[in-house]
Amino acid sequence: MAMTIGGLLVGGILLIISLYTKKTWLRNFVLGGAVVWSVFYVAMLIGFSLTSQKKELALKETKEFCGFYLDCHMHTAVTNVRKAKTIGNKTANGEFYIVKVKVSSNAKAATLGLTTVDTHVVDARGQTYYRDKEAELALAPQPDFEQRISPVESFEKEIVFDLPEATENPRLNIREAHGIDRVIEAVLVDDEDSVFHRRAYFKLEDREQTAFLK
């Protein structure tokens, strides 16, 4: 992407020069180079996406968030999963999954944070389930996902999903959902949010590491 942006700037300058000086060979060279690079870039973008592998991350296994600037300092991890039939005075239609997510930064200087976080659960059939924010109100006060943290800091936040009983292979998807970032990352080579790229999910069903609440 950096090479592409740099090449576009240089190409734009050369194209202006070619038009100003009426040098046809220079104009054709710039336009031809742009076409060749575009074909190469699209091939790289799709090729990396189609050869990517879906990942299922275990408890406490981290996921990096790189974004457009490729500064992969922000990380998330699922550190605990609890199940309950009720939270406060709210009863689940199926079963509540109370998922504790840790957000951390390994930046050396900058104060950073995630942007417009989207979290949802996907099961083995591809069915999507979104957070039960009403049930979350019955939990202790929670920090915002977008809370900014200083270098080597972290915080944990619990989120709740009401999943059908015996949901098969529920996996948590965490992504940044800011509009312009999504557009840019869709065309970043080997970015998780690039077109056709497989995603990294957090496993929520691990019998040995899941605590049950009555």
Model pLDDT for residues 53-98, shown as the tens digit of each residue: 888 999 999 998 875 555 678 899 999 999 999 999 999 999 999 9
> What are the Cα distances from residue 97, in Å, to 93, 136, 144, 188, 207?
12, 11, 19, 33, 13
Q: What is the pLDDT of residues 26-54, one digit of tens each?
A: 889 989 988 998 899 899 889 988 888 88
Euclidean distance between CA atoms 157 and 62, whole angstroms = 15
Among 201, 195, 146, smallest CA distance to 173 is for 201
Euclidean distance between CA atoms 74 and 121, whole angstroms = 21
Euclidean distance between CA atoms 187 and 182, whole angstroms = 9
Assigned CATH for 55-212: 2.60.40.1240
Cβ contacts of residue 5 below 8 Å, gap of 6+?
Answer: none
Q: What is the pLDDT of residues 193-208, one digit of tens each?
A: 778 888 899 999 754 4
Residue 135 backbone dihedrals phi, psi, to 5 degrees: -65, -35
Question: What does the DSSP 8-state code read for residue 149?
Answer: B
Question: Which pairs from 145-148 meet CB under 8 Å and 24+ separation?
Answer: 145/101, 145/103, 145/114, 145/117, 145/119, 146/113, 146/114, 146/115, 146/116, 146/117, 147/103, 147/113, 148/111, 148/112, 148/113
Domain ranges of the chain: 2-50, 55-212
Q: What is the pLDDT of residues 125-142, one digit of tens each?
A: 999 999 999 999 999 999
**The dihedral of CA 116, 65, 151, 102: what is its sign?**
positive
The helix/strand/coil state of 41 is helix
